[in-house]
Chain A
Amino acid sequence: MIVNNETIAHLAKDNQRLDGRSLIEYRQPIKIETNISWTAEGSAKVQIGETVIMAGVKLSLEKPYNDTPDQGGIMINAELLPLSSPDYESGPPGIKAIELARVTDRGIREAKAIDMKKLCVTPGEKAWFVIVDIVTINDAGNLFDAASLAVLSALKAAKFPVVDPETGAINYKKKTEESLPLLKEPLAVTVYKINGSLLIDPTSEEEKSYDARLTVASDDNGTISAMQKGGDSPLSIDEVEKICDIALEKAKFLRKELNAALK
């Protein structure tokens, strides 16, 4: 509704929001639960405010790619389930789901978060391939951040399944104690620009009235591993710098929440 869009823009100029939060405050509650699916090798359910997302890790043994015969691989997929919002329909992923998947994927892949060489079993023949599926349960805004948190949580909680040493067959019903070789823990934070002000964790309504957004994935060292700009309006270099500062600080906050939940 235009009336809400205009009010959101007016309030933003005064550093205010419809729900009274500060511009750099995440909604509450933030809940992270792992191993919510016994069939996944690793899984997590993340809640930020009313947004709820699940991520599940599945592992398989495949022939490595020709150009990287001593490495495994990772792929991240996303589905915006119609059950999570009246705006989504059944069918193949649209551009919103594709962007969510690819941006989250790059955040993990380009950070070299997983030691691909350690996923190799027999060079040129067999290596572990990791597929993470992101699934929305309730979309109340800010899928990027919630998805990134869910994927990292699921990867951290994942355990390799037992492989029969003679036949090489995977016994998906038995898990080993071995975790994935994670080298880094990148997290994405998306900062939105509304009427000149920068804010994080938008509600669905705020998402409908923004000028520009920038997703920044960073790891625990403060190294940026992925970025994606969205929205119809441009950003100045100063704004990009401010956004990076916010994203790095908020990633630290999310990482603290994650570690507290995984204890």
Chain B
Amino acid sequence: MSNILIKEKAIVIPGETLAEGMDYLPGDNTYREGEKIFAKLLGLVGISGRVIRITPLAGPYIPKVGDKIIGEVIGMTMNGFRFNTATAYSAMLNVKDASSRFIRNEEMSSLLSIGDSAVVKITKVTSQNLIDLTMKEPGLHKVTGGRIVKINSQKVPRIIGKQGSMINLIKNKTGCNITVGQNGYVWIKGTPDNERIVGEAIKLIEEKSHQEGLTEKMDVFLSSKIKTAPAKVEEKQ
């Protein structure tokens, strides 16, 4: 007889037995050996019908076509810009994909220089995980002003929330512009105090991402912080 051994939203470690018997199916980040299904990494259990999957609580960002990410220019070649995307892999933004205007080689640094960050989109991922980027679509641009914070990419869905509920809550309460890259970089622009509050809120969500009722907790957190924001930080020494 088949037996499921853990509950929905339980936290499991690699190798933990999730179910016995052939009635259940191994979903993402699980594997079957003999009659048992095991977890393949540290994460949260999710059960949909007969499929058991694990949502990772940590882990690297896996680049996907169509993802909007934030990257940093680390080099320039004859044809474009090399980006650091917080992956192990090289990412290229060809100059013809960087702007709808025609840009000559000598003008490349007017668009982007080494050290600049930009919101870009992944257009191609090869079998060796080499990444092609574009900056030509609306919503894609060089980043100026504000600050960028880094969180684990697995927590991005929690930062955004169901249909954007979490990110919109934060935006409304703080009045900041916020762009969340799927690779875990988040660009925040507003007043320095509000930017800092957004940064703290995001770190808090990252830490508690496995908990329930996070949106309500964030609402309370933001309300308390915004109240005291205009006051100068008290000198403790």
Minimal beta-carbon separation of A140 from chain B (angstroms) = 13
Q: Which A1-56 residues have C-beta < 8 A from chain B? A: 1-7, 11, 14, 16, 18-22, 24-26
A1 touches B148 (CB 8 A): yes
Instruction: Say if the beta carbon of A65 comes within 8 Å of chain B.
Output: no
Instruction: Say if the beta carbon of A88 comes within 8 Å of chain B.
Output: no
A16 touches B192 (CB 8 A): yes
With beta carbons under 8 angstroms apart, the residue of B148, B196, B236, B237 that contacts A4 is B148
Interface string of B44-88 (1 = CB under 8 A from A): 000000000000000000000000000010000000000000000
B144 touches A3 (CB 8 A): yes
Residue on B with the closest CB to A256?
A: B237
With beta carbons under 8 angstroms apart, the residue of B144, B187, B236 that contacts A25 is B236
Instruction: Say if the beta carbon of B145 comes within 8 Å of chain A.
Output: yes
B72 touches A1 (CB 8 A): yes
Minimal beta-carbon separation of A6 from chain B (angstroms) = 7
Q: Which residues of A contact B196 (CB under 8 A)?
A: 18-20
A25 touches B235 (CB 8 A): yes
Minimal beta-carbon separation of A13 from chain B (angstroms) = 12
Interface string of B215-237 (1 = CB under 8 A from A): 00000000000000000010111
A21 touches B233 (CB 8 A): yes
**Binding site secondary structure of chain A:** loop
Cα-based distance from A218 to B133 in the complex (angstroms): 53
B235 touches A2 (CB 8 A): no
Excluding A19-B196, A25-B233, 14 further A-B contacts by CB distance (< 8 Å) are: A1-B115, A1-B117, A2-B115, A3-B146, A4-B147, A7-B146, A7-B147, A11-B192, A14-B192, A18-B199, A24-B235, A24-B237, A25-B235, A26-B237
Q: Which residues of B contact A (CB under 8 A)?
A: 72, 113, 115-117, 143-148, 187, 192-193, 196, 199, 233, 235-237
Top 8 A-B pairs, shortest CB-CB distance: A2-B115, A1-B117, A20-B196, A7-B147, A3-B143, A3-B117, A20-B233, A1-B148
Give 18 CB contacts A-B under 8 Å. Answer: A1-B115, A1-B148, A2-B115, A2-B116, A2-B117, A3-B117, A3-B145, A3-B146, A3-B148, A4-B147, A18-B147, A19-B196, A20-B196, A20-B233, A21-B233, A24-B235, A25-B235, A25-B237
